[in-house]
Amino acid sequence: MPTVTLSTSKPTTARADVLVLGIRNDDDKGELAEALDLMGFSGEKGQTVRFPSGGLAKAPVVVAVALPAEPTAEDLRRAAANGVRAAKNATSVAVALHPAGVDEVEAIAEGIELGTYRYEAYKTKKNDKKAREVTSAAILTPFARQGTATRALERAATVAAAVNAARDWVNTPPGDKRPADLVEAFTQHAGTDVKVTVWDEKRLAKERCGGILGVGQGSDSPPRLLTLSYEPEDAVSHLALVGKGITFDSGGLSIKPGASMQTMKLDMAGAAAVVAATVAIARLGLPIKVTAYACVAENMPSGRATRPGDVLRMRSGATVEVHNTDAEGRLVLADGLSLAAETSPDHIVDVATLTGACMVALGQHTTGILGNDEEFSETVLAVSRDAGESMWRLPITEEMKGVVTSSSIGDLRQHNPKPYGGTLFAAAFLREFVGDVPWAHLDIAGPSFNEGSAFDYTPVGGTGTGVRTLVRLATELAGAR
């Protein structure tokens, strides 16, 4: 991540390889007007043009970035990322986007730190490494000397580092993050900021976690449950987080077609998000108790794998008739949700790449929010907006409750026999495990992984989606903003 600093310099005098200059569509473009027009700069949001400064500014190159007349924090986050990404070959940039306040400074810093992310752990060619990258960025703002601005910068760095850690974990090839490896990576990342406990397969059996064990039993690499806890003395609330951590989803015996399996290393993005967010919340010192459960397993077919028709006995005591071993996420989450609910937290949020159906409903950039508490779902939706993550509420309809409880031989059926409302059915299933605790379920199947090309601050591959909303939510529930 580049080092981001604040500076009171004027755009024309800032020293950097590239000056990223925000141009609002109501700005008087002065002597640049004609040239910008000739370069095709229409002022459409997100647009950039790059040109030599020709003595207009101390920086030898200028990247102009289009902004609306009154940019939101999200507009600035994207503009900063687009500007810095367009500053090809620069190692230092000065970013002049005229933030109206410290929240805007924070968004710009996040945009820079998220937009410059690259995943190069498996690149061996020296030439690739030589491609220059931005190592320092100065945000130009008159608030540079204010303590609140410095704290905003620190917050941005903590949150962006968390998002980037989640991206790294998602991008890691599935053979290099089998359950024990992934749990080790999470533990390393947590350091001493939060308390970590790991249950192996023997402990999971002792604790009757039949959902996690049932999903993981087909793999040579047994499942794990990792619990992180952050418990500050001044905590005003207790938030429990649960993440789906399928290190690879082959579908199990209900095996996926090859093409659908290609990206299934992404299936632990929910666990990555809750772990990264919890560590960030601890590093920010927010006055809220957070307990995070990462339900980690590899979903593989084998002679030991769970079969369609098998019945699993879950942590809650309920029995579940399995119909499709590719609907494994709800089985691991169910045990995590039971463990969370047993501690009677004030709220539970689970994050999961749960259903392809959610992508059918909302597309690839929007998370589905479902839950058992109107007010809490609205709170999650509101903080997602502030965080700049696209989310939308979906209902758990009455129809689904009847289907969930319609197993012929067990208490619950795992899979909807009809191909309709798959996201709602999955949430109705999860609801059976949270008791009375206000709970929200985030289905991140779409936005967790970018299969297209990079845009704004979203890179190709793992996106780290969910982290920023969870940190905001904790901030809100802690009354710290």
Total number of residues that touch ligand BES (CB under 6 A): 14
Helix (H, G, I), strand (E, B) or coil at 280: helix
CA distance 418 to 38: 56
59: Cα within 13 Å, side-chain hemisphere = 28
CA distance 267 to 444: 10
- Binder among 249, 335, 443, 456 for Zn ion (CB under 5 A): 249
- Binder among 142, 191, 356, 479 for ligand BES (CB under 6 A): 356
Given the residues 167, 244, 315, 330, select the one marked as catalytic: 330
Strand order in the sheet with 311-313: 311-313, 319-321, 412-413
Contact mark string toward ligand BES, 391..430, x via CB under 6 A: ------------------------x------x--------
Under rule CB under 6 A, which residues in 281-340 are in contact with ligand BES? 324, 326-329
Closest to 91 in 3D by CA, of 140, 131, 50, 48: 131
Stretch that binds ligand BES, among 65-73, 74-82, 186-194, 352-360 (CB under 6 A): 352-360
Instruction: Report which residue's Cβ sits closest to ligand BES.
Output: 356
Binding partner of 276, given Zn ion, ligand BES, none, CB within 5-8 angstroms per partner class: none
Q: Of the two residues 317 and 356, which places its CB atom closer to ligand BES in the complex?
A: 356
Q: Of the two residues 83 and 368, which places its CB atom closer to ligand BES in the complex?
A: 368
Return the bridge partners of 461, or none. 450
CA distance 469 to 159: 10
Which secondary-structure segment (H or E) carries 31?
Answer: none
Which secondary-structure segment (H or E) carries 143?
Answer: none
Active site residue 88: no
Residue 366 Cβ, how far from Zn ion at the closest point, in Å?
A: 19
Contact mark string toward ligand BES, 85..114, x via CB under 6 A: ------------------------------
**Could you tell me which residues come within 8 angstroms of residue 198 by beta carbon, excluding any fewer than 6 positions away?**
183, 187, 224, 225, 226, 227
Residue 357 Cβ, how far from ligand BES at the closest point, in Å?
A: 6
Longest dimension (CA), the chain: 79
Q: Of the two residues 329 and 461, which places its CB atom closer to Zn ion in the complex?
A: 329
User: Does residue 267 touch ligand BES according to CB under 6 A?
Assistant: yes
Stretch that binds Zn ion, among 11-19, 110-118, 321-329, 401-409 (CB under 5 A): 321-329
CA distance 135 to 16: 11
- Binder among 75, 201, 267, 456 for Zn ion (CB under 5 A): 267
User: Does residue 357 touch ligand BES according to CB under 6 A?
Assistant: yes
Q: Of the two residues 13 and 262, which places its CB atom closer to ligand BES in the complex?
A: 262
Q: Of the two residues 161 and 246, which places its CB atom closer to ligand BES in the complex?
A: 246
CA distance 54 to 352: 51
Active site residue 202: no
Under rule CB under 6 A, which residues in 230-259 are in contact with ligand BES? 249
Q: Of the two residues 336 and 422, which places its CB atom closer to ligand BES in the complex?
A: 422
Residue 250 Cβ, how far from ligand BES at the closest point, in Å?
A: 10
Whole-angstrom CA distances from 153 to 70, 97, 127 are 22, 15, 33
User: Does residue 355 touch ligand BES according to CB under 6 A?
Assistant: yes
Under rule CB under 6 A, which residues in 441-480 are in contact with ligand BES? 445
Q: Yes or no: say if 414 and 327 are a contact pair by the CB < 8 Å rule.
A: yes
In sign, the C-alpha dihedral spanning 175, 178, 180, 183 is positive
User: Does residue 353 touch ligand BES according to CB under 6 A?
Assistant: yes
Cβ neighbours, 10 Å, residue 446: 24
Can you list the pairs that 47-51 forms with residues at least 24 positions away whose Cβ atoms lie under 8 Å? 48/82, 48/83, 48/86, 50/18, 50/86, 50/87, 50/88
Strand order in the sheet with 391-393: 195-199, 224-230, 289-299, 238-249, 347-352, 439-443, 367-371, 391-393
Given the residues 256, 313, 393, 401, select the one marked as catalytic: 256
Q: Of the two residues 249 and 476, which places its CB atom closer to ligand BES in the complex?
A: 249
Residue 143 Cβ, how far from ligand BES at the closest point, in Å?
A: 41
Angle between helices 147-171 and 269-284 (to 10 degrees): 160
Total number of residues that touch Zn ion (CB under 5 A): 5
User: Does residue 326 touch Zn ion according to CB under 5 A?
Assistant: yes
Q: Of the two residues 171 and 353, which places its CB atom closer to Zn ion in the complex?
A: 353
Binding partner of 324, given Zn ion, ligand BES, none, CB within 5-8 angstroms per partner class: ligand BES
| Binding site residues, Zn ion, CB under 5 A | 246, 249, 267, 326, 329
Active site residues: 256, 330
| Binding site residues, ligand BES, CB under 6 A | 249, 267, 324, 326-329, 353, 355-357, 415, 422, 445
